[in-house]
């Protein structure tokens, strides 16, 4: 059991963050790391997971702001033309964020 774990650690040490074989050496924050890519160090699963959490958090804040702006203009703006334009802009933003 511990032997298998040791083999797995050695294997991971030879793999890039994306899981491919390491072919290049880079310095990241002063530490030498390997990468499959000549130009960048691929992010690890944990780094991608954290980036996704941050992106989802930002997305939910945008969606809340869209709803708040939408509510404000729906009840506080007399001009139907301006109301329509604001709804159109917010609708485009909502569509863009959803894709
Ligand atoms: Zn890679």
What pLDDT digit, counting tens, does each position of 14-64 carry? 799 899 999 999 988 888 989 999 999 999 899 999 999 999 999 999 989
Between the CA of 4 and the centroid of ligand 1 the distance, in Å, is 24
Number of domains in the chain: 2
For residues 18 and 42, the answer to whether their CB atoms sit within 8 Å is yes
Domain that holds residue 17: 2-35
Between the CA of 36 and the centroid of ligand 1 the distance, in Å, is 4
- Domain assignment present for residue 21? The answer is yes
**Quick one: 61 and 94 in the same domain?**
yes
Between the CA of 31 and the centroid of ligand 1 the distance, in Å, is 17
Other Cβ atoms within 10 Å of 3 Cβ, number: 7
Query: What pLDDT does residue 13 have?
Result: 64
**Quick one: 61 and 23 in the same domain?**
no
Between the CA of 47 and the centroid of ligand 1 the distance, in Å, is 13
**Quick one: 87 and 49 in the same domain?**
yes
- Domain assignment present for residue 40? The answer is no
**Quick one: 49 and 84 in the same domain?**
yes
């Amino acid at each position: 059991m511990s032997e298998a774990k040791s083999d797995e650690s050695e294997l991971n040490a030879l793999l890039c963050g994306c899981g491919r074989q390491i072919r290049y050496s880079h310095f990241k924050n002063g530490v030498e790391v390997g990468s499959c890519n000549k130009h960048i160090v691929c992010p690890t699963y944990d780094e991608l997971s954290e980036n996704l959490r941050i992106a989802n958090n930002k997305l939910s804040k945008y969606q809340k702001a869209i709803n708040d702006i939408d509510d404000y203009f729906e009840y506080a703006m007399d001009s139907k033309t301006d109301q329509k334009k604001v709804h159109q802009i917010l609708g485009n933003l909502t569509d863009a964020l959803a894709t």
